[in-house]
Structure 1
Amino acid sequence: MTTLLTPTTNPGSLPLLPRPSSISGFGLFYAPGFSPLTREDIILDLKTPLLSIPGDKYLDEVCSWCMEWRPAKKDVYGKGKTPDPEDVEKELKKCTGCKVVRYCSRECQKHAWSDHHKLECPRYAALYPRVLPASVRACVRLLLLKERLPKALWEFGILKLDDHVRDFESEGGERWGMINLMAKGAHGYSGTELSEREVRGLYCMILTNTFAITPPTSDVQIGLSFDPLLAKINHSCCPNARIDITGKEAAVTAVTDVNVGDEVTVSYVDTEMNVEARRKELRETWFFECKCEKCKVELGGGKWKDGMLEDIKKSERDVPAGNKSEEVRGFVVEEMD
C-alpha cells in the first residue's frame, strides 16, 4: 500500500496532515483525533513505499521485491568442496530475462513482475552486462509506472516535491555534469514522453528525497527507498521522529513525545555531528541552512541537552491559538493498493 497526500479524500484516515511549516514550505503535522504519542510509538507504518531499489553493490545479494539481504559467502568453500545445501537453497535466483535483478522466491518474482519488472526487464536486458546506477533505475521505474499511478499521486505527491534543479545548476561542476548524463540516460532508456528537462527535474527530486534501506541487524545501506509521503517530512537536528526502512517496509517512529498539532520532523544527518558539520552536509546535499532550536543553541555557544525540545514545544503550545498558522484547506489522504 502506498499512502499519499492529495486533495480528494477523508483526512481522518492518516495521522499526518500537511500544513504550512515554519521550517520550510509545507510539513506533516500530527493530526487531530489521534492519541498523544511517547518515545518509540509508531506514528506511521508504510508496508510498501512507492520505490524500493537495491544498491549498486548489492544487486546480487538483495531480493529486488522484498529487499531481503542475503550476504554472499565469499571464499567459504575451497576448490573441490561441496557447498552446504542450506546455503545453496538460500541463494537468490537471477531473473533469466535481464540477468540483473534477483529474487529470494518465486512469489517475490511474480509480485515484482506484475508490479513493475515486466516493464523494466527488456530495457535491462538490452543494456546487459552494463547495469544502470540505483538512482537511474529508480528514475526509470518511476517513469515507467507513471501511467499506472493515480493522477493525484503524480501531481500532488511527486511533482510538488523540491527537486533543487536550480541549486544543482548554480553549483555547476562535476556533479551537475553527472546529473545531466544520468538524467539523459533515464530519459532515453525509459522511452518516456516527458522532455529531458522534466526528467532532469525528476532525477534531481529522487537524489534529494530518497532514504537508505538498512537491514535490521546492520547499518549497511543496501538500497534506496522513495515515497512521496515520507519525502514531505521536514528536517530538524532535534527531531521528534525517525524513519526506519527495513526490507520493503518503512516506519515513522516517535523519538520524543508527539502531541496533536506537532510538526513531525526527522534528521537528514547524523545529529551527533557538531553544528558546523551538520550545516555543511545539509547545505551541500539539500541546499538549506538549518534553523532548528538545536542549531540556534549551539551556534550561540550553548550546549544542547536532552529535554530541551519538550520544553520548547510546551512553550509553543501555550501560545494563543489565534497566533498559529491555519491548516491548509483541501489536503487529505488517499490510499491505493
Structure 2
Amino acid sequence: MTLQRPSLRTVFTEFMEDLHSALNDRGLTVTILPEKGRSLFTTRNFRPGEEIISQEPYVCVPNNSPVESRCDRCFASINLKKCSACKVAWYCSSVCQKSEWKLHRLECDALARLDKDRHKSVTPSIRLMIKLFIRRKLQSEKVIPMAATDNYKLVEELIDHMSGIDEKQLVLYAQMGTLVNFILQWPGMNVKEIAVNFSKLACNAHTICDSELRPLGTGLYPVISIINHSCLPNAVLVFEGRTAVVRAVQHIPAGAEVSISYIETAGSTMTRQKTLKENYLFTCTCSRCVKAQEDEIKESAILEGYRCRNDQCDGFLLRNSDDTGFTCQQCGLVRSKEDIKNIASKIKSISDEASTSLSSQSYAEALFMYEKVEKLQRILCHPYSISLMQTREKLLKISMELENWTKALTYCKLTISVYQKLYPGIHPLLGLQFYTCGKLEWLLGHTEDAIKSYTKAFDILRITHGTNSSFMKELLLKLEEARAEASYKLSSTDDE
C-alpha cells in the first residue's frame, strides 16, 4: 500500500485552521477583505490598555554599527562580548548566548567562512534573511519547535508587492539574494525566493524600539503583520524587550478590525499618503485620510505652510491665483513669494551648518545654530508647523546633552502643545513628551508641575505600554517620589 502525501491545499487548509484556532482563544480572527487582503478582527470587546496580541519575533537582529553594538538575544548594550568564531554576533551573557546557539550555530559557521571584505557586506538586513532561512531549516528538521503562530508558512503568506517594485529595487534584491545564497551555500537555495523575501521584509518587518521608542533593531512578526494600517488607529504596537505587544488605545467592540499605524502620523494627509505609497505601496482610506478637499488643503497649509504677517493672527496661508504670494485666509494679509523665498533660503543654509555641528557633536555650536533656525521658522512657519516642531525637538535634545535643563524645559513645553494637535487621542509619543517634561520640572525643583506632567504621562502610557514593564514601574516610582516630596514641602511650610 502506497501512502499519499497530503496536497499543498490540504496543508494550507490545516495551517489556516490551526491559526484561526490559536487566534480564537485570544478573541481574534482573520478575515479576508477585498481591498486589504488578510485583516485581523476582534470576536470580543477590548478595553483601552488591554493587550490584544503579543508575539515573539520569528527572526530579529539588532541594529549593530561600528559605534554601537547590542546583544543578539536581548538587545542589551552593556557587558558585551563578540562571538569569537564569526566575529559578528554579540552577547551580553552566557545565558543569552546559549539560548541563541541553535540558531546561531549555523549562521556562525557560514559567517566564519567569509573573508574580511565579505564581512563588511553582512548588514542587519542580510543577517535577518540568513536567520530566516536557518529558522525554516531547523523547524522543518524539528530541531526547534513550531506552532500555529510560529512557522515559516506564515512568512510564505505575507504580501511581497513584487509587481509594484521598480527595476532598480528588483536588481538590489537580486544582488542581496545572491549574497545570502553565497554565504549559506546550501544546495537547492533559490535566489528568486530570497529576493521575494527581501521584498516581504521591506513591507512587513517592524523596527524594534525600547520603551522610549528609540530604535534597537528589526524583527519579523508574521501574525502582527496581518494587522492593517490606519492613520487614526484603534491600537498601538510597542515592544517589551523584543516581544511585540499590540494594545487597544480605545474601546474596540467585537466584530471590529484592529488597526495600528505603520508610519509617523504627524503630517498632512498628502505627506502620509506619499510615505505609505513609497514604503508600503498602498493608499490609505481611513477616516482621517478620506476628507473634503478644502479640509485637506487647510491641513497642509497649517502643518507644512506659512504663517500670517500679523503676529497676532493664527490664520493659515494659501497661494494666490496669480502665484505672486500667499494670502491669510483669516485676515486677508498677503505675504510676498519673495519674502518667503528669502527666509526659507536662510533657514536652509543655517540648518545645513547646524546639522554638520550636530553630527560632529559640537553641541554648543549646534544649539546656537538651531536657535537661529527656530527664530526664523517662527517668522516663516505656522505655529503648528511640523518643521518648527522638529527644530524644537532637536533643541530639546541638544539642551539636555548640554544639561541646560531650563532651556530644555522651554522647548519641551513648546512641543507638547503641537503634539496634542498632531496626535489625536492616546499616543505614546505624547505620553513620552509629558514624561520628559516631568523629569525636567523635577530636576529644576518645580515639584507640583512635575506631578502634573508625570500624571499626564502615566495616564497615557499605562494604556499604550501597560503597567508591568520596568519603564512604567520606574515612571510610577518617580510620580510617587514627587508626590512625597511635595507633601514634605507642604508639611514643612505648615510647621513654620
TM superposition score category, shorter chain reference = 0.7 to 0.9
Distance in 1, Cα, partners of 2:67 & 2:27: 35
Moved more, 231-240 or 295-304: 295-304
1:62 paired with 2:70, answer yes
Show the 5 A alignment for 1:121-160: 121-127=108-114, 129=116, 130-131=119-120, 132-149=122-139, 150=146, 154=151, 156-160=153-157
Q: Give the letter aligned to residue 202 of structure 1.
A: N
| 8 Å CA contact retained: 1:55, 1:224 | yes
CA distance in 1 between partners of 2:215 and 2:229 (Å): 20
Match of 1:38 among 23, 37, 47: 47
Q: What letter corresponds to residue 75 of structure 2 in structure 1?
A: M
Superposed CA RMSD? 2.5
Match of 1:103 among 60, 67, 91: 91
Question: Any residues of structure 2 matched to 1:167-316 within 5 Å, and which?
Answer: 167-168=164-165, 171-173=166-168, 175-192=169-186, 193-217=188-212, 219-297=213-291, 299=293, 301=295, 306=424
User: Partner of 2:109: helix, strand, or coil?
Assistant: helix
Q: How many residues align?
A: 274
Whichever residue aligns with residue 253 of structure 1, its letter is R
Q: Which has the higher contact order (CA 8 A, sep 6+)?
A: 1
CA distance in 2, matches of 1:16, 1:135: 31
CA offsets, 1:228-285, max 9 Å, x none? 1011111111111111124221100112211211111111111111111110011111
TM-score between both structures, scaled by the size of structure 2: 0.51
Shift of the alpha carbon at 1:204? 1.0
Q: CA deviation at 1:43?
A: 1.1
Higher relative strand content? 1
**Larger Cα-atom Rg:** 2
How far off is 1:37 after superposition?
Answer: 2.2
Structure 1 gaps of 5+ residues are: 71-89, 308-337
Shift of 1:289: 0.9
Moved over 6 A (4+): none
Report deviation, 1:167.
1.3
> Are the structure 2 counterparts of residues 261 and 202 from structure 1 closer, same or farther at C-alpha, using a change threshold of 3 Å?
same
Deviation at 1:23, TM superposition (A): 5.0
Using the TM superposition, give the Cα deviation of residue 176 of structure 1 relative to its aligned residue in structure 2, in angstroms: 3.1
Name whichever structure is richer in helix by fraction. 2
CA contact (8 A) 1:146 1:154 kept: yes
CA distance in 2, matches of 1:284, 1:61: 30
CA contact (8 A) 1:54 1:223 kept: yes
The sequence identity of aligned pairs, in percent, is 26
Give the residue type in structure 2 aligned to 1:147. K
Mapping of 1:7-46 within 5 angstroms?
7-8=17-18, 10-11=21-22, 12-21=24-33, 24-32=36-44, 36-46=45-55
Residues in 1 aligned to 2:241 and 2:63: alpha-carbon distance in whole angstroms: 13
Question: Which residue type is aligned with residue 187 of structure 1?
Answer: N
* Counterpart position of 1:113: 101
